[in-house]
């Protein structure tokens, strides 16, 4: 199991079947530095343009269509002391007539204290004088090359992953993506220091990161949509509009997972989910919205 | 402050401007026994038909259109040892083509242990032998008479409340409803022993309860949608389809609340919500879906 | 078969089980004068308030829950020379970010030429100097009392009809509503001189009308949603949000109608609809949107 | 102005920045033969796989990002005597609970009479013995390379066009696409002999065609979404889910067009659209739905 330090010289605004930037064995670890969502690096130098420039693709040996790529998010360390957000909720998350009264969109700067592991607005805002957030890193956009040799904008997402902007995609989480292309062709970027549900201002706190992931091929997986796992929970992801359809995808994927790995038929899975399921809104801003269907592992003990 | 024991003889399948069943002063407490969602009482006797027969209306003196009715949910005690659920996820929460493979809808019985405060399936289900849930009571359907002297089915919901099926509507929570009719005309019923997000099997664990609430009129409130408060959080409710619109209503209401009560203008509120908001799916089954927009009080300390 | 001249003294902002205003036999004709959407009559006197004050309810003898009420729209004559519209497309029919650039909402006056049967803006608007529309009357809001003794705002719609704002609801069209209450309890009002698809400015050209309808009870009908018929077409109506769900309701109702009345099983009906169906957007403004599923009668010749 | 006969040897399942198959001058005409949606040619030989294999890309000299590609659909002639459809309405166009009762999906064959210009089911279906449709050819999938060097599945659509399945895309119609890549890179395929609104069985009558189009570059066009023109109408296209969002895109694009080319400001355009707009459902089956916003040219006379 090798650890690769991956320093990209080219960044991509699509996820797809592009020329391989790094080739690794299944089970290897990759350490890489990501740009922020509009292409600035740790030194504040613009090295690419938006949306969401990606590091990759990483070819994982042995990966074939139909397999799953397991991604262990091992660590995420911000590499500079500043981040930015948009300053107003997006027009699509408020009532249509309410949009008329929204202030114009602007950008706000945030200060990241890498010792204290906190984030705060760089300029004071009335009413938020004491608003200091714990650093909560997450990957906004990552995934594998989609089917049919497509190359899809990093603004959006699909079965292959992409710009899901879900706050549980942070250190300690394991994610599995359904593979469509030989080598899987993994991409990542667009990391956030903090983000609420829904990414409703259209950004998290966008900054540059050093990210460490371990990439492992699992054969014949049966995944249609991404699946994730934290210490406490398992979850599935659906990406679509409206949120209703994203929820349908995530729920259908969870039913399949509970059947194949936990021995729960549709009825047993319905009894379980009906009383304990949790739904999280990943993003409600990007062209495809993201909904997670989440179940605490304690309800599944001894079954996997 | 009086405590009223309210024993209804008539139950209602609509929420609206109906003949008053009980008249109380603002600040009074009401203890009442609710039927389950299809009308069975604590003795297993059917006393009404569905959907969701309501206790009420309760006229609160001094309440006028434009005021808010504050409802403190003080306690909820199940009054029998059994509950029921539907046994299969609803067709609208899975991918349309997946519906073809769902088993037929059936009903399952659950046993409520009122000493241990737990709930479990009455008949064993393979894979769920150890599935024992802590009792987590919540009110499925409650609210006040809607505007225009409407009378609306207890299957659905709106600005006035109704069948929201949100699991945070339990003991310890305070809810405020926007009042449209003199006396507010408060209704409640359809209580659940447990329920997951979304009420995705079409029911929680449906049973009869003794519920204690305190009802207080607050003048000139500015509410458009219901607002709630727990020990940790404040939240707003939007009821509509699709989920996207429910989320727009809830977010717009939260922006208004943060402005009026917490001194946060649109920009400050956007900075706050963008990084800390949580969205909960109340129900994704009823004619109107329910989305809650929730903020931890710790971010609001010293502001209200 | 009697003709009744119905001059209401009370108007209603809900459709529901209200005190009967007129009692007729099945097959009788009713001539009545409607107010405009905000309550002005033919003389410009405000006789009621909005939304959409209704004439009714009309009790039709012999009507029972489960029957259909057949409504023949015989004639509609505007009773004054002016109408009004809102002057800007509604916020919900444009892209959310586009709402920021919309002018403020205002009202425009239109002149109805009752000799020439045309309508034009009363004040000149640059670019629309020659914009003269043929009069195309339609009923914006009509229907029968909904189930469960509900009383529902005339701003919205459902299985029982209501504020559908569909331009084919004009003279020569026959509509059937599913009956839920004894006597059917028919209401109508909110007539438009002209209206495009979707009612996207939030109004048609709103004015007062004399309307003649014939009301006939049909026993044991099997309707879930309204059904209509013109000289050329049959159509079904779905009312819901989003448009996708309205379309699902209308399509499901058409499949049922083709099976029961035209002998087409699901496969035959799919072959037919797949190649010849037309969908019309009734309204995309009201709380429930309206979609019509329409089939030309020429494809059904000799089958009913 | 040259006419090119374009005989592709490679077909594509994505629309994107792929190696150029044909290079033409602006204003040239192209005659080409398309495969059916699953790759069969006029001789019934499978030459490609689905979804929707495309002829192209065609590089049009002088085309740059920001321009529009004008596509005149000159003629469409079916090249074989058979077509196929799916035999059951798609699960997503009926009520979710109705899906349980749908028959399994199958395929039906249709006979195309190229003399009579009619289409009928090849095997008799009870109730449809006399169901003979006039041939009504249309292009299901066409467009230009999307932005960011994306390559997107021909199953779906976007600003660049794609799989819109709108029945007005037939001979005599002119379409304009917003160009994102040098040379525009035009693709077409997936032609239908007939199709109803919405493509609700998941197909039109799928067959092979000879298609003649003229491709002309227009500089600095200002298009965001496709725009079309028939003898009677102008229309704009929005591609998204739900239908509500597709309608928002199409309406916003129409407002822009009416402003730039017809001198109608937002208010004048609102007066016009409010009373005369027509909405057509292109498809309600593909990953992105398609809605057209259509206005009769007679209302625009003398303005362009």
A30: closest CA of chain B, how far (Å): 29
Residue C237 tokens read as 């109506």
Is residue A72 over pLDDT 80? Answer: yes
| Inter-chain CB proximity D150 and A241 less than 8 Å | no
- C–D interface: beta-carbon pairs under 8 A: 214
- Whole-angstrom distance, CA of residue C213 vs CA of residue A25: 77
| Inter-chain CB proximity A14 and D242 less than 8 Å | no
Of A195, A267, A299, the CB nearest to B87: A267
Report the b/e string of D40-54 with b at 16+ CB within 10 A: bbbeeeeebebbbbb
DSSP letter (8 states) at residue C12: B
- Whole-angstrom distance, CA of residue B167 vs CA of residue B182: 29
Mean pLDDT of C32-53: 98
| Inter-chain CB proximity B91 and D99 less than 8 Å | yes
CA proximity to B294, closest of C98, C177, C176, A197: A197
Of B98, B242, B284, the CB nearest to A252: B98
Which other chains touch chain B, taking contact as 3+ CB pairs less than 8 Å apart?
A: A, C, D
| Inter-chain CB proximity B150 and C14 less than 8 Å | yes
Is residue A197 over pLDDT 90? Answer: yes
Confidence label for C1 from pLDDT (cuts 50, 70 and 90)? confident
Name which of A85, A87, A89 to mutate to probe chain B: the one with the most chain B Cβ atoms within 10 A of its Cβ.
A89
A90 contact B CB<8A: no
B243: closest CA of chain D, how far (Å): 12
Question: Residues of A with CB below 8 A from C96's CB?
Answer: 90-92, 96, 99
Question: Residues of B with CB below 8 A from D96's CB?
Answer: 90-92, 96, 99
Reduced to 3 states (helix: H, G, I; strand: E, B; else coil), residue B1 is coil
A80: closest CA of chain B, how far (Å): 19
Q: Is the CB of residue C178 less than 8 Å from the CB of residue C160?
A: yes
| Inter-chain CB proximity B91 and D102 less than 8 Å | no
Query: How many residues does this entry show for chain D?
Result: 304
Q: Is the CB of residue D195 less than 8 Å from the CB of residue D133?
A: no
Query: What is the greatest pairwise CA distance in chain D?
Result: 56
Q: Given this model, what pLDDT does residue D63 score?
A: 98
Question: What's the Cα-to-Cα distance from D149 to each of B144, B279, D185, rounded to whole Å?
Answer: 55, 35, 11
Is residue C303 over pLDDT 70? Answer: no
- Whole-angstrom distance, CA of residue C159 vs CA of residue C239: 7
Residue D62 tokens read as 């002088």
Of C85, C271, C284, the CB nearest to D121: C271
Question: Residues of B with CB below 8 A from A264's CB?
Answer: 127-128
Mean pLDDT of A150-176: 98
Q: Which residue has the tokens 């019509």?
A: C292
* Helix (DSSP H) and strand (DSSP E) numbers for chain B: 2, 21
Question: Residues of B with CB below 8 A from C240's CB?
Answer: 241
A117: closest CA of chain D, how far (Å): 36
Q: Given this model, what pLDDT does residue D302 score?
A: 57
| Inter-chain CB proximity B131 and A271 less than 8 Å | yes
Is residue A218 over pLDDT 70? Answer: yes
B103 contact D CB<8A: no
Q: Which residue has the tokens 């002005």?
A: C40
Confidence label for C302 from pLDDT (cuts 50, 70 and 90)? low
- Which chain B residue has its CA at the smallest distance from A131's CA? B299
pLDDT digits (tens, 9 = 90+) for B23-39: 999 999 999 999 999 99
| Inter-chain CB proximity A148 and D149 less than 8 Å | no
User: Residue A264 burial (CB < 10 Å; 0-12/13-18/19+)?
Assistant: buried
pLDDT digits (tens, 9 = 90+) for B43-88: 999 999 999 999 999 999 999 999 999 999 999 999 999 999 999 9
Question: Residues of B with CB below 8 A from C13's CB?
Answer: 148-149
Question: Residues of C with CB below 8 A from A289's CB?
Answer: none
Residue B188 tokens read as 């409640």
Write out residues 233-272 of A within 8 Å (CB-CB) of C: 242
Radius of gyration in angstroms for the set of CA atoms belonging to chain A, rounded to a whole number:
19
> How many beta carbons lie within 10 A of that of residue A7, not counting itself?
11
Is residue C181 over pLDDT 60? Answer: yes
pLDDT digits (tens, 9 = 90+) for C53-69: 999 999 999 999 999 99
| Inter-chain CB proximity A280 and B279 less than 8 Å | yes
For B166-231, strand residue ranges (E) read: 174-178, 186-192, 209-218, 227-229
Task: With both helix axes pointing from N to C terminus, report the angle between C243-262 and D243-262 in degrees, rounded to the nearest 10.
Answer: 110
Which domains are assigned to chain B? Answer: 3-79+139-218 (2.60.120.580), 82-134 (no CATH), 227-300 (3.10.28.20)
**In this structure, what are the phi and psi dihedrals at residue D260, rounded to the nearest 5 degrees?**
-75, -35
D298 contact C CB<8A: no
- Whole-angstrom distance, CA of residue D138 vs CA of residue D255: 26
- Whole-angstrom distance, CA of residue A157 vs CA of residue A141: 8
User: Residue D210 burial (CB < 10 Å; 0-12/13-18/19+)?
Assistant: middle
Which other chains touch chain C, taking contact as 3+ CB pairs less than 8 Å apart?
A: A, B, D
pLDDT digits (tens, 9 = 90+) for C16-37: 999 999 999 999 999 999 999 9
Of B148, B240, B245, the CB nearest to C153: B148
Query: How many residues does this entry show for chain C?
Result: 304
Q: Give me the residues paired with residue D158 across strands.
A: D161
Name which of D97, D106, D244 to mutate to probe chain B: the one with the most chain B Cβ atoms within 10 A of its Cβ.
D97
Write out residues 135-194 of D within 8 Å (CB-CB) of B: none
Of D101, D251, D271, the CB nearest to C93: D251
pLDDT digits (tens, 9 = 90+) for D112-153: 999 999 999 999 999 999 999 999 999 999 999 999 999 999
Of B99, B104, B242, the CB nearest to D242: B242
A22 contact B CB<8A: no
| Inter-chain CB proximity D96 and B92 less than 8 Å | yes
- Which chain D residue has its CA at the smallest distance from C244's CA? D243
Which DSSP helix (H) or strand (E) runs through D212? Answer: strand D209-218
- Whole-angstrom distance, CA of residue C41 vs CA of residue C209: 9
> What are the residue ranges in chain B where pLDDT is below 50?
none
B132 contact A CB<8A: no
Q: Given this model, what pLDDT does residue C148 score?
A: 97
| Inter-chain CB proximity A87 and B271 less than 8 Å | yes
- Whole-angstrom distance, CA of residue D157 vs CA of residue B148: 44
Q: The whole model's pTM is what? A: 0.98
CA proximity to B197, closest of C294, C174, A98, A275: A275
B99 contact C CB<8A: no
Q: Is the CB of residue B181 less than 8 Å from the CB of residue B60?
A: no
**CB proximity list for C85: less than 8 A, separation 6 or greater:** C107, C108, C110, C201, C203, C204, C205, C206, D271, D274, D275
Q: Given this model, what pLDDT does residue C62 score?
A: 98
- Which chain A residue has its CA at the smallest distance from C100's CA? A100
Question: Residues of D with CB below 8 A from A16's CB?
Answer: 150-151
Pairing of strands A82-86, A227-229: unpaired
Mean pLDDT of A114-129: 96
Task: With both helix axes pointing from N to C terminus, report the angle between B243-262 and B266-276 in degrees, rounded to the nearest 10.
Answer: 120
- Whole-angstrom distance, CA of residue A257 vs CA of residue A269: 10
DSSP letter (8 states) at residue C231: S
Which other chains touch chain A, taking contact as 3+ CB pairs less than 8 Å apart?
A: B, C, D
pLDDT digits (tens, 9 = 90+) for C109-139: 999 999 999 999 999 999 999 999 999 999 9
Q: Is the CB of residue C279 less than 8 Å from the CB of residue D197?
A: yes
| Inter-chain CB proximity C240 and B241 less than 8 Å | yes
Q: What's the N-to-C CA distance of chain C in angstroms?
A: 26
**In this structure, what are the phi and psi dihedrals at residue B277, rounded to the nearest 5 degrees?**
-65, 145
Averaged pLDDT, groups of 10, chain D, 304 residues long = 95 98 98 98 98 98 98 98 98 97 96 98 94 98 98 98 98 98 98 98 98 97 96 98 98 97 96 98 98 97 57
- Which chain D residue has its CA at the smallest distance from B245's CA? D244
Of B94, B276, B277, the CB nearest to A251: B94
User: CA-based angle B164:B170:B171, to the nearest 5?
Assistant: 155
Q: Is the CB of residue C280 less than 8 Å from the CB of residue C235?
A: yes
Q: Given this model, what pLDDT does residue D220 score?
A: 86
Which DSSP helix (H) or strand (E) runs through A262? Answer: helix A243-262
B100 contact D CB<8A: yes
- Whole-angstrom distance, CA of residue A118 vs CA of residue A112: 6
Reduced to 3 states (helix: H, G, I; strand: E, B; else coil), residue B156 is coil
Q: Is the CB of residue C6 less than 8 Å from the CB of residue C21?
A: yes
Name which of B100, B241, B247 to mutate to probe chain C: the one with the most chain C Cβ atoms within 10 A of its Cβ.
B241
D251: closest CA of chain B, how far (Å): 19
- Whole-angstrom distance, CA of residue D285 vs CA of residue D280: 14
For B115-160, strand residue ranges (E) read: 118-121, 132-134, 138-144, 151-153, 157-158
Q: Is the CB of residue A279 less than 8 Å from the CB of residue A291?
A: yes
pLDDT digits (tens, 9 = 90+) for C11-21: 999 999 999 99
| Inter-chain CB proximity B248 and A128 less than 8 Å | no
- Whole-angstrom distance, CA of residue C87 vs CA of residue C109: 9
**In this structure, what are the phi and psi dihedrals at residue A99, rounded to the nearest 5 degrees?**
-60, -35
Question: Residues of C with CB below 8 A from B245's CB?
Answer: 241
- Which chain B residue has its CA at the smallest distance from A124's CA? B268
Of D149, D241, D245, the CB nearest to A151: D149
């Amino acid at each position: 199991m090798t650890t690769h330090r991956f320093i990209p010289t080219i960044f991509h605004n699509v996820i797809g079947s592009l020329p391989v930037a790094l080739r690794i064995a299944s089970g290897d670890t990759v350490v890489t530095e990501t740009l922020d969502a509009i292409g600035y690096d740790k030194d504040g130098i613009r090295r690419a343009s938006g949306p969401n420039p990606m590091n990759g693709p990483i070819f994982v040996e042995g990966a074939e269509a139909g397999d799953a790529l397991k991604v262990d998010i091992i660590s995420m360390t911000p590499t500079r002391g500043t981040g930015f957000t948009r300053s107003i909720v997006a027009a699509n998350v408020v009532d249509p007539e309410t949009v008329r009264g929204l202030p114009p969109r602007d950008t706000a700067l945030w200060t990241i204290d890498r010792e204290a592991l906190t984030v705060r607005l760089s300029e004071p805002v009335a009413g938020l004088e004491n608003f200091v957030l714990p650093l909560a890193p997450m990957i906004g956009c990552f995934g594998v090359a989609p089917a049919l040799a497509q190359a899809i904008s990093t603004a959006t997402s699909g079965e292959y992953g992409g710009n899901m902007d879900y706050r549980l995609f942070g250190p300690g989480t394991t994610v599995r993506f359904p593979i469509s292309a030989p080598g899987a062709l993994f991409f990542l970027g667009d990391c956030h220091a903090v983000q609420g549900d829904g990414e409703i201002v259209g950004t998290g706190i966008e900054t540059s990161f050093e990210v460490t992931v371990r990439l492992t091929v699992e054969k014949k997986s049966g995944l249609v949509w991404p699946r994730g796992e934290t210490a406490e929970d398992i979850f599935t992801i659906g990406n679509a509009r409206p949120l209703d359809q994203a929820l349908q995808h995530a729920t259908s994927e969870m039913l399949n997972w509970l059947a194949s790995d936990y021995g729960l038929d549709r009825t047993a899975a319905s009894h379980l989910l009906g009383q304990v399921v949790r739904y999280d809104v990943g993003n409600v801003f990007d062209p495809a919205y993201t909904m997670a269907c989440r179940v605490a592992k304690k309800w599944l003990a001894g079954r996997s």
